[in-house]
A and B are shown apart, each in its own frame.
Chain A
Amino acid sequence: MAQHFDPRNAPFDRLSEDEIGVVRDSLDIAYYRPNETILAADAAPESLFIVIKGVVEERDGDDLIALRGPGDMFDSRAVVQGKSSGAFVAREETLCNLLPRAVTLGLINQNPRFASFFYLDIAHKLDTVSREEEGARFTPLLGARVGDLFLHPAIFADATETVAEAGALMREHKTYALFVTDDKGVGIVTRSDLLGAALDDRQALDGPIGPLAHRPVIGIEPDDLVTTALLRMTKHNKRRLAVGRDGQFVGLLEDIDLLSFLAGNSQLVGGRIDRSRRVADLARAARGIEPQIRLLRRQGVKVDLVCEIVSDLNRRLLHKLYALVAPTSVREAGCFFVMGSEGRGEQTFRTDQDNGLILAGEVPEADLDKFRKDVFDALELCGFPPCPGEVMVRNPVWSKTLDAYRDDFAAWLATSDETGMMNIAIFYDSEAAAGDGKLLKAAKQDLIDLMHGERLRLARFARAIDAFPTPIGFFNNLVTSKAEGDALDLKKGGIFPIVHGVRALALEKGLFETSTTARVAKLAELGVFDSQFARELTQALHYLMTIRLDAQIAEKASTSLVKPAELSTMDRDLLRDAFQVVKRLRDMLRRHFNLAMF
């Protein structure tokens, strides 16, 4: 037997003998010359490719995203979705096994363990990450408990209740299944059972639900691992499990919720946020956000898109939270907004609460105090730790009238200390999350007017870009800090100078865009950057954010310190390129704001 296919490689090791036979009988081999496109972007893949020999580049436009070598497969996402997001190009002479898409999908359908691999997309590993790290990343996900998942409420109905009543009960509790009790014990009736009875069997709507119930009910405990739940569903061929302890059912786990937890489905999380009726619901939905980040990233979604999805979810969360906790007086007069990286939409893993409130006029002090406290408590419940600098609604400095903010701006500019500049930077990045966005816009306009044409103020604001050196040496080598264990700081050395440099230019031009990428695009439009440099700047920022995000996913002790020694050659090269761009931006800003004066 020729060994061009090794069934010991994941995920094929999860296949049965027969299924391996199917794979062997379906494989073809293809040869690709250097630079030949194997799978074009947006193309419908006819097969799953498994590299036998050679190297394949995954590209997005001109960007190299990842490399695939022998044993790696691509593109599991494209096979599942029927469309490829990136382009796959042979870097050298390459041989691949081709497993037809129909066969792959057939195996996904019939073998849940194989399928879960595809959904998890382990194969789509963030290249160059060592196996140990990969394992460490997965532990939190696979180590999750059933109780951490979204569960439907356990609703009970008597066997004598009618189909119509059961339908109403499901609607009321937003669930698709009920527990049915009679002398035989507990069974389950689903919405599709009801529909089937009414439509297919033409059963009367006032007939009892008792005969429709499924038994036995397969149960699972809240402390069981999610993997156990997956196995149990597969083994018993059930789409839902009763979650309970000591014979007491506390909820229902649907397969769709389990799969979305494993495979990622941000729409579901968003829907849950919107449907929340209490802060406790919201807190539970909020817990779904962070796993989405891991999943999206693991599936190879690019960092800017991850940020966009996450900040959209966070905004919806805040919007909902505001609706739930704000007293009428505050809701009528206020604008609730987020600041800093949250405002720029460049937040991935939630860090601190960075939010504020602008009021059109005075509101009763008691209402405002209650709101300050309630927002803080609710956000803490949702997993947002307090901001160490107290830049949050709880602090009266960040929850007051528009006029009071206007007085602050002047004060910030008058004092020459760093705090004033920092407050301007944080506030300039704000974005309304709920309430009247015009209030925030008016405040920002004031801030912009105060800075307009004020060369000295702008220069003082921009000066912070030189606070930390770019970690790149004379010979284009990466400079690490011995004090930090031969690591270099991505945030200080790269991300901050880009974000702040762009922010200073945006403020000078009076832009209302908040995300760095949008600001760069606008500045290029205005001719401040040439289009080539604008593109490089955006790429450099995204690249640095990607490395930081991956470090966060890997749960490293520090998320912005990286050790070049631990990076692949490709990453080191890209890092060097990114820092070169930072250096050019700094040079440009020094000339532009005439920073040499200081």
Chain B
Amino acid sequence: MWLGLKRRLQFRLLRDPAFRFLFDPPPPGEYVSIDCETTGLNTRKDDIVTVAAVCIRGNRILTSERFEAMVKPKAKLSPDAIKVHRLREQDVADGRSIDDVLPELLRFIGSRPLVGFYLEFDVAMLNRHVRRLLGIGLPNEQIEVSGIYYERKYAGAPPGTEVDLRFMSILNDLRLPSWAQHDAYSDALMTAMMYLKLEDLKARDVRIPRGKAKPAAFYGGGG
């Protein structure tokens, strides 16, 4: 009910009627897995470098219709960020303006729910520009894969259980293949796979075993 109210409000605030499709009922069984690589981790100051999205339909990841774009950031690439995604200034110099990329991305996503890992961050990065364009943030439903993973693995865990929600840990725990991480498309794809597997586990009511607590670190001799 509250969500309905919020959506109605957003709909009224939508500046450009050409984007009303964002409020259409989503096609059943379809989701969009999305990931951004950025100049840094500050959602107010940093900028998007690459954005990738891939549609999920039923049990399929439609990689044949993927969305990938390189964006020329306004902000400087931070040295730390370059280490993460290995994109340097000269690599993104050919990127397009976010204002060109965004309408295409929005049309790709449509009204489908978004799936992501730490999706909050990607949505916040996008929303800065989406707000400028539309007057509102992305109205799409948001599904956090680490949330589903937590529920499948740690729900009801005794207090003090060490919780590991790192991307690679989840991927390995779900025994999914891993490819070059920190490439927006690869990350979006791996996230989509996590989602399909987690949804399947949920549907079959399978829980992820927690196993025995491992020692937090290995205290080896020497220095």
Q: Which residues of A contact B (CB under 8 A)?
A: 1-4, 25-33, 52-53, 93, 95, 98
Q: Is the beta-carbon distance between B189 and A28 smaller than 8 angstroms?
A: no
Contact B61 A29 (CB under 8 A): yes
Q: Are A29 and B180 in contact (CB under 8 A)?
A: no
Known pairs A2-B189, A93-B200, A95-B193; A29 contacts B179 (CB<8 A): no
Asked if residues B185 and A29 are in contact (CB atoms below 8 Å), the reply is no
Which residues of B (173-223) have their CB < 8 Å from a CB of A? 175-177, 179-180, 183, 185-186, 189, 192-193, 196-197, 200, 203-204
Contact present for B61 and A33 (CB under 8 Å): no
Most B CB contacts (10 A, CB to CB) among A2, A30, A52, A98 go to A2
Give CA–CA (A148, B177) in the complex, Å.
Answer: 47
- Residues on A with beta carbons closer than 8 Å to the beta carbon of B42: none
Look across to chain A and name the residue whose beta carbon is closest to the beta carbon of B204: A33
Known contacts A1-B185, A2-B185; A31 and B200 CB within 8 A of each other:
yes
**A1-B185, A3-B180, A4-B189 known; A28 vs B175 contact (CB < 8 Å):** no
Distance in Å: Cβ of B209 to nearest Cβ of chain A: 15
**In the complex, chain A residues whose CB is within 8 Å of the CB of B183:** 1-2
Bound complex: CA A52 to CA B189 (Å): 13
A4 touches B63 (CB 8 A): yes
Which chain A residues border B168 with CB–CB below 8 Å? none
Which of B59, B64, B196, B200 neighbours the largest number of chain A CB atoms within 10 Å of its CB? B64
Q: How many A-B residue pairs have CB under 8 A?
A: 58
In the complex the two chains form, is A26's CB within 8 Å of B64's CB?
Answer: yes
**B65 nearest in chain A by CB position:** A28
A93 touches B186 (CB 8 A): no
Chain B interfacial positions (CB closer than 8 Å to A) = 59-64, 175-177, 179-180, 183, 185-186, 189, 192-193, 196-197, 200, 203-204
Complex-state Cα separation, A53 to B172, whole angstroms: 13
Instruction: Tell me how far the C-beta of A450 lies from the nearest C-beta in chain B, rounded to whole angstroms.
Output: 64
Say whether B177 contacts A31, CB under 8 Å: no
B62 pairs with A28, CB closer than 8 A: yes
Cross-chain contact of A4 among B59, B62, B177 (Cβ < 8 A) = B177
Q: Is the CB of A29 within 8 A of B193?
A: yes
- Measured between beta carbons, the chain B residues less than 8 angstroms from A1 are 180, 183, 185-186
Q: With A1-B185, A31-B197, A93-B200 as given contacts, are A53 and B63 in contact (CB-CB < 8 Å)?
A: no
* Cβ-defined contact, A28 with B177, below 8 A: no
Looking at the complex, which one of B59, B63, B177, B186 makes contact with A32 (CB distance below 8 Å)? B59
Chain B residues with CB below 8 A from A33, complex form: 200, 203-204
Question: A28 contacts B200, CB within 8 Å?
Answer: no
Contact residues in A for B186 (Cβ distance below 8 Å): 1-3
Which of B59, B64, B180 contacts A27, CB < 8 Å?
B64
Q: Which residues of A contact B203 (CB under 8 A)?
A: 33
In the bound complex, residues from chain B placing their C-beta under 8 Å from that of A26 are: 64
23 A/B residue pairs, CB under 8 Å, sorted by A: A1-B185, A1-B186, A3-B179, A3-B180, A4-B177, A25-B64, A27-B63, A27-B64, A28-B60, A28-B61, A28-B62, A28-B63, A29-B60, A29-B192, A30-B59, A30-B60, A31-B60, A31-B200, A32-B59, A53-B175, A93-B175, A93-B197, A95-B177
Collect the chain A residues with CB atoms within 8 Å of residue B64's CB. 25-28
